[in-house]
């Protein structure tokens, strides 16, 4: 009984340490993006894209975030979803190549706007 309690205590200590490390990494990331809103914008768009490209994934995005990404609201989200669906229909490998090209083009577009 005492050995089991010690194992559980040790597991909680390890979990707590992992949580602290994760919090530190998030704080570091926040500081990185603090002075670079373009990098933050691109990261947010990438996270959205990565979430949508998974099969049968639903991503709920606040309208303010969609507006800040200049995706054109619902029409932009629909187009993005349809594009991802088309990639799936054409095959994963073709989709990866297109995604890489799209990411590069999108980054260039954002950079040119600035």
pLDDT of residue 21: 96
Positions of the chain with pLDDT under 50: none
Angle of CA points 73, 38, 24, to nearest 5°: 105
Contacts of 39-42 with C-beta under 8 Å, sequence gap 24+, read 41/68, 41/69, 41/110, 42/107, 42/110
The answer to whether 27 and 20 are in contact (CB under 8 A) is no
Q: Is the pTM of this model over 0.85?
A: no
Residues 6+ apart with CB under 8 A from 100: none
pLDDT of residue 8: 95
pLDDT of residue 11: 96
């Amino acid at each position: 009984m005492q050995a089991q309690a010690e194992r559980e205590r040790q597991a909680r200590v390890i979990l707590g340490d992992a949580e602290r490390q994760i919090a530190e990494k998030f704080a570091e990331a926040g500081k990185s993006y603090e002075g670079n809103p373009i990098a933050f914008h691109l990261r947010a768009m990438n996270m959205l894209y990565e979430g949508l490209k998974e099969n049968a994934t639903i991503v709920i995005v606040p309208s303010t975030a969609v507006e800040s990404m200049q995706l054109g609201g619902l029409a932009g989200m629909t187009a993005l979803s349809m594009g991802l669906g088309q990639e799936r229909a054409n095959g994963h490998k073709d989709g990866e190549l297109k995604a890489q090209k799209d990411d590069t083009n999108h980054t260039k577009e954002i950079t040119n706007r600035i």
